[in-house]
Amino acid sequence: MNKTTLQKIKTDLAARKDKIEKELAKFTEGNEDAADARFPQFGDKEDENAAEVAAYSDSLSLEDSLQNSLKDIEKALQQIADGSYGDCKYCGQAIDEKRLLARPASSACISCKNRLNKS
Ligand SMILES: [Zn+2]
């Protein structure tokens, strides 16, 4: 991969990282107890309580997926730093550049990804 492409991906990753960190900060912003603050209060009736629990678990899974994306991005940035970026973690072949430009945190090539999705 040439340096220009790598630089472009690095910038993209940094921008994504920044955005996700801001999203994650919303979960804890201005609150002493993050878990408590996330728990919405709709009311005390039974159906209202159920809605609170649903909203709470939605917010937890969103936070989870943001944290996973952040981990992938940080790993990709680390790999750029140590020069191992762009290699498929399953077969070790270089991942297609177009794929990396579209999804810079990808850690598997298309053929491995397809194989895993089928199994
Ligand atoms: Zn592969």
From the CA of 21, how far away is ligand 1's center (Å)? 29
Q: Rounded to the nearest whole angstrom, what is the distance from the C-alpha of residue 102 to the centroid of ligand 1?
A: 17
Residue 76 lies in a domain: yes
> Does residue 105 form part of some domain?
no
pLDDT tens for each residue of 43-57: 888 888 888 888 888
Check residue 42 and give its pLDDT: 79
Number of domains in the chain: 1
Tokens 């945190």 label which residue? 105
Contacts of 24 (CB under 8 A, 6+ apart): 63, 66, 67, 70
| Mean pLDDT, rounded, for 68-75 | 96
Domain assignment present for residue 108? The answer is no
The pLDDT assigned to 33 comes to 55
Question: How far apart are alpha carbons 73 and 18 in whole angstroms?
Answer: 10
CB hemisphere CA count around 2 (13 angstroms): 3
pLDDT-based confidence at 36, cuts 50/70/90? low
Ligand 1: centre distance to CA 110 (Å) = 7
Q: Quick one: pLDDT at residue 117?
A: 87
Going from the Cα of 96 to the center of ligand 1, the distance in angstroms, rounded, reads: 10
Distance of CA 105 from the midpoint of ligand 1 (Å)? 14
Quick check: is 91 in a domain?
no
Q: Report pLDDT for 32.
A: 54
CA of 73 to the centre of ligand 1 (A): 19
Q: Quick check: 30 pLDDT over 80?
A: no
Query: How far is the C-alpha of 80 from the C-alpha of 75, rounded, in Å?
Result: 9
Average pLDDT, the chain: 89
**In this structure, is residue 116 part of a structural domain?**
no
